Chains A and B, each alone.
Chain A
């Protein structure tokens, strides 16, 4: 397994496997992340996996970069690549692709000269892979969008995109965990909170999980919003 080790300031060590978005890199990231997690290194405060790397944050008050490097190198020798994709969770996320929830569905369908229904089908068909979680609490970076749905960002970003909005931008699809400004085409909304500091399962997604969207009606949306429990959507 090829990798390089570099410092991130004097706070973390970054293990880098490459600089692209690919499943091969992702497998290395996940397998390494799992091995490091299992090692329970006492001075490690955070392990952060990304598309291309794993960052090992350490308590710089008690340990030096050199010691962390030695320890990480030893663990990297034991990493089993095939472990990466074992025990994947599948999260089925209900999305209402209707009315006020989907302000850009019609224009996006017209852009691709397909029907709204076809957009919904193409969007809810794949099993998306959560490559990483970052940017905002609980925000999943997903891979696997149908090439036919690739769409340039909105010319003018919206000042406020509501929480739960499901959007498409470039080759990516994603879900807004909190309301924020944004330039994605919004085609639906999910009632399930991606991140809730008051919930036992803080974040719905973790790196390596799989995500499947499925279409629900407005009344189903409202029912889930009121009574749905997050556990019911994780398989």
Chain B
């Protein structure tokens, strides 16, 4: 029997994502990949999949998926009120599903993005070494109603029950602290506005996979907001002329023409992926060494 999942309703944005496509940024191709890599990797590990197996990234909810075969899945990331036959689906643990069952993601309770990892991983076309969807570059497209996705064969037995330790489950709150490594362009802003940036709080307004906009105390440029283009990446905080921070996300362009204040460290990327409109954000400056230490802690399993 073919191992398929049918998209009955895609919801706001449903796409295939893995760990992205590094290696082509010099040609202007974004690294892309899952917004919340922690959720993707943990879901895969619980299923005995490889870390980089592709999964479905579900944004905001309103999503209905129908299983065409019996399998084992793991839902991770944000709590989008997922249920199967009106039974709530527990996050961060493996569950068995049967042919014909429907998995529904209703709406965001906590966080914005959930990951459906499946034993064997989602199969789809590979573009430059990755299955990650990047529509602007014509590398795959979002899933729409009626689409059918294939799932890979599991080598050996189906994975047995597995659940992530409680203390390793991220706690999503309406108030997040994003740790930042300062950019060399910090000097392009007035000292007073930089101190204010790290002392006050900002509100998340809106965003997509490419970037998000925050609102709060404006940063003040010493001269101009425009710069001779420089490299930007997932987490880079750009500041256009209005002084409001704009954070680039997984589908970040490779270069940018605005002054930057810093880059959010990798250990906090999951927070960026899960921020909902209205979330309050505080920035905290850290050193590279601290960022590396925090990443190490985060990686322990």
Once bound together, how far apart are the Cα atoms of A158 and B253, in whole Å? 21
Contact of A203 among B27, B31, B229, B266 (CB under 8 A): B27
Contacts of B231 in A (CB 8 A): 8, 12, 14, 48, 50, 53, 55
Partner of A51, one of B23, B136, B138, B228: B228
Is A10 part of the contact surface with B, judged by Cβ < 8 Å? yes
| Listed residue (B22, B23, B25, B231) with the most chain A CB atoms within 10 angstroms of its CB | B231
Tell me the count of chain B residues lying within 8 A, CB to CB, of chain A: 42
On whether A19 and B266 interact (CB within 8 A), knowing A48-B254, A207-B26, the answer reads: no
Known: A135-B253, A135-B254. A48 touches B229 (CB 8 A): no
Q: Cα distance A107–B123 when bound, in Å?
A: 51
Would you list which residues of chain A between 91 and 128 have a CB under 8 Å from chain B?
Answer: none
B235 touching A195, Cβ below 8 Å:
no
A214 contacts the other chain (CB 8 A): no
Tell yes or no: A60 within 8 A of B by CB.
Answer: yes
**Interface contact B288-A7, CB-CB below 8 Å:** yes
Interface 1/0 per residue, A15-36 and B, CB below 8 Å: 0100111000000000000000
* Residues of chain A from 39 to 57 with CB closer than 8 A to chain B in the complex: 45-53, 55, 57
**A60 lies within 8 A of B23 (CB):** no
B275-301 interface mask toward A, CB cutoff 8 Å, 1 = contact, 0 = none? Answer: 000000000000011011001000100
Contact A138 B28 (CB under 8 A): yes
Q: Is B264 among interface residues, defined by CB-CB distance under 8 A?
A: yes
Selected from A9, A66, A138, A178, the residue in CB contact (under 8 A) with B27 is: A138
CB distance from B250 to the nearest CB of A (A): 12
- Of chain B, the residue at the smallest CB distance from A135 is B253
Given known A11-B263, A14-B184, contact A51–B236 (CB-CB < 8 A): no
Judge whether A136 and B28 touch: CB under 8 Å: yes
- B26: chain A residues at CB < 8 Å are 46-49, 133, 206-207
CA–CA, A63 and B181, complex, Å: 17
User: Across the interface, do B136 and A9 meet the contact criterion of CB distance under 8 Å?
Assistant: no
Main secondary structure, interface of B, reads mixed
Chain A residues within an 8 Å CB radius of B291: 9-10
**Total interface residues in chain A, CB < 8 Å:** 47
The smallest C-beta distance from A160 to any residue of chain B, in angstroms, reads 13
B183/A137 in contact, CB under 8 A: no
Q: How far is the CB of B44 from chain A (nearest CB, A)?
A: 15
Is the CB of B128 closer than 8 A to any CB of chain A? Answer: yes
* B contact residues vs A (CB 8 Å cutoff): 22-29, 31, 127-128, 136-139, 181, 183-184, 227-236, 253-255, 262-266, 288-289, 291-292, 295, 299
Query: Which 8 residue pairs of A and B lie closest in terms of their CB atoms, listed nearest first?
Result: A134-B255, A9-B263, A55-B231, A10-B291, A203-B27, A45-B22, A6-B184, A46-B25
